Chains A and B, each alone.
Chain A
Amino acid sequence: MEAAAATLVTGLVLGGMYALVAIGLTLQYGVARIMNLAYGEFVVAAAFAALWLFTSLGVSPLIGLALVMPLAFLANWAIYRIFLTPLVRRAPNAGALETDSILATFGLLFVVQGVMLALFGGAYQSYSYLSIPVEIFGATITANRLVALGFAAVIGGGLWFLLTHTRTGTAVRAVAVNPAAAPLVGIDMARTAALAFAAGGAVVASGGVLVSTFLTFNAAMGVVFTMKALVVVIMGGVGNLMGCLVAGLLLGLTETLVASFVDPGLTLAATYGLFLTILIARPAGLFGVAAR
């Protein structure tokens, strides 16, 4: 019973992280229409930034969060403006942009990964922050996981509020729903897309910092994060925050269940299994309406 409770809580925390990371991706893919294969590298880059801040400067990851998020916002805004805008201009249609963005970000993946390998090496890294055992619902879990989950909820909730209660947020959602009609009602597409891409980058960086407090990570792990974020986004329906949350939690729970009761070596297989089931049963996502 206790083992089951522990699995449940661990799974929910992991799922919360997946949901947060996927929310950033759904902004980039659903609004800016950029399929970002280098996405997971930014999770890892933020994790390394937090590690460096904590071990060499003694800065707590929670303060690190306040430093890394604006930086990631600016960096992603610059990436969109400098690297991706030419592709957006050149693409004759949405399909061509998708292919081009896949290729460009695939190249970016190797550049970012190479830089991280050169800076930090390929070894697994971790640091000890708030690893105090806490008892919750009869399960023992470290405090850092709970703190991470709390911050993820705050960031996700804050983003949801901005998207639903501000003028800019409404514009962002309008572009996600119908990119062709949005300019007709006076929405600046280029600005909105850049903003969504940058915001997505800030969210993913926050995910990286939070994950670094309780997971060991290395420079080559980005691909797995990208894969999982993509699966969550597709499962939840592109551009759907609520879908991301549900799908993320589902993935986290499935993985933890498989890891603790079957074999830890089969977590990616579990991800694929879930993905395949969704593909076959509900190709438009859990909450999707129309299938193409």
Chain B
Amino acid sequence: MSNTALAIVLAGLAAMAALPFLDTGFWLALAISIAQYAVLATAWAMFSGPTRYVSLATAAFFGIGAYTVAVLGEVLPWPVVLLVAGVIGAVLSLLVGFATLRLSGVYFVVFTFGLAELIRQLVTWFEVNVTRSMGRYVFVEITQAQIYWQLLALFGALLALGTWLARSRLGFALHVIGEDETVARHVGIDTARAKVALFALSSVFMALVGAVMAPRWTYLDPAIAFNPSISFTVLIMALLGGTRSLLGPLLGVVPLALLFEVLTARFPNHFSILVGIVFLLVVYAVPQGVSGLLARLRRGAPA
């Protein structure tokens, strides 16, 4: 994105910050849901788009953020809680990254596939054996409007970071890695380090979203915080939107967030089947995402 485009988008986000003054009920809740997925899907695509490593661990990082708030929310001031959530997310992503990203993509996929479940088990074990209490109440003075503003701010920061990244050496290195990892290594790119760095950046944003969203629940236990459907939802949104451009995932987030809202309300018992079918449709029908489709149409090639 150019500087002007970024400025326009950021101005748009600033204008959207006025929403809570118009409505604090249904529309704000919907906007929070969209903003949450916008940050998560964009952060997911920032790593998985250029590197083509499919991360299935969004729920793990989201859960870490949320659970940090459940544990520390009452003890520390809010900015410090956010900072701690981000740091824990970064440390975990560095561990996962250094263990798996030196190797081929399969190891990474397999490792991230069960990561949320692993951390859920570990946290549960810790709570049962050490603190002897399962589940926590979240008592922090954060309104819905404040959650919404924080999400918008995160999204703005993420877009600015993405724009900077696209022009940086790191961004270029990742682009080369995505095209051909062997070539990247031959031109002297430290591929493992570049991948780990980006994975950590993307994971920090996911952990922060989890932390920001935590006050929406009044009660949190590991099963709620590490809900695996988040990994799935974020993945399908980013894929539908397309991962090639920074604003691509947003094109998938908005329609799918609305669709899922309808599906959960009308077919709560068959949600999983329907979402799975939507997912398959996206993988088969729009492999490059909506933004890829648009780019192809603009070039005039037959779609």
Q: Show the binding face of A for B, using Cβ within 8 Å.
A: 35, 37, 83, 86, 90, 95, 98-100, 102-104, 106-115, 117-118, 223-224, 226-227, 230-231, 234, 263, 265-269, 271-272, 275-276, 279-280, 283, 292
- B103 and A100 contacting across the interface, CB-CB below 8 Å: no
Q: Which of B236, B270, B276, B282 has the most CB of A within 10 A?
A: B276
Q: How large is the interface on B (under 10, 10 to 19, 20 to 34, 35 or more residues)?
A: 35 or more
A56 to chain B, nearest CB (A): 22
- B269 and A265 contacting across the interface, CB-CB below 8 Å: no
- A265 and B104 contacting across the interface, CB-CB below 8 Å: no
- B284 and A104 contacting across the interface, CB-CB below 8 Å: yes
Give complex CA distance A109, B249 in Å.
Answer: 23
A237 to chain B, nearest CB (A): 12
A25 to chain B, nearest CB (A): 11
B23 to chain A, nearest CB (A): 33
Give complex CA distance A226, B228 in Å.
Answer: 15
Q: Which of B61-69, B117-125, B189-197 contacts A (4 or more CB under 8 A)?
A: B117-125
- A110 and B128 contacting across the interface, CB-CB below 8 Å: no
Q: Is B139 interfacial (CB 8 A cutoff)? A: no
- A279 and B272 contacting across the interface, CB-CB below 8 Å: no
Within 8 Å by CB of A269, from B106, B118, B129, B235, lies B118
- A115 and B273 contacting across the interface, CB-CB below 8 Å: yes
- B232 and A35 contacting across the interface, CB-CB below 8 Å: no
Q: Which of A108, A117, A272 has the most CB of B within 10 A?
A: A272
Within 8 Å by CB of A110, from B100, B104, B272, lies B272
Within 8 Å by CB of B114, from A266, A268, A276, lies A268
Identify 15 residue pairs between A and B in the complex whose beta-carbon atoms are under 8 Å apart, listed by A's number. Answer: A35-B106, A99-B105, A104-B283, A106-B232, A111-B280, A112-B276, A113-B272, A114-B271, A114-B272, A118-B269, A227-B110, A268-B117, A280-B99, A292-B103, A292-B104
- B125 and A106 contacting across the interface, CB-CB below 8 Å: no
Give complex CA distance A112, B272 in Å.
Answer: 9
- A227 and B280 contacting across the interface, CB-CB below 8 Å: no
What residues on A are CB-neighbors of B54 within 8 Å? 99, 102-103
- B103 and A269 contacting across the interface, CB-CB below 8 Å: no
The residue on A at minimum CB distance from B282 is: A107
Give complex CA distance A102, B114 in Å.
Answer: 14
Instruction: Please provide the 3 A-B residue pairs with the shortest distance between their CB atoms, ordered closest to farther.
Output: A114-B272, A114-B273, A110-B276
Q: Is B107 interfacial (CB 8 A cutoff)? A: yes
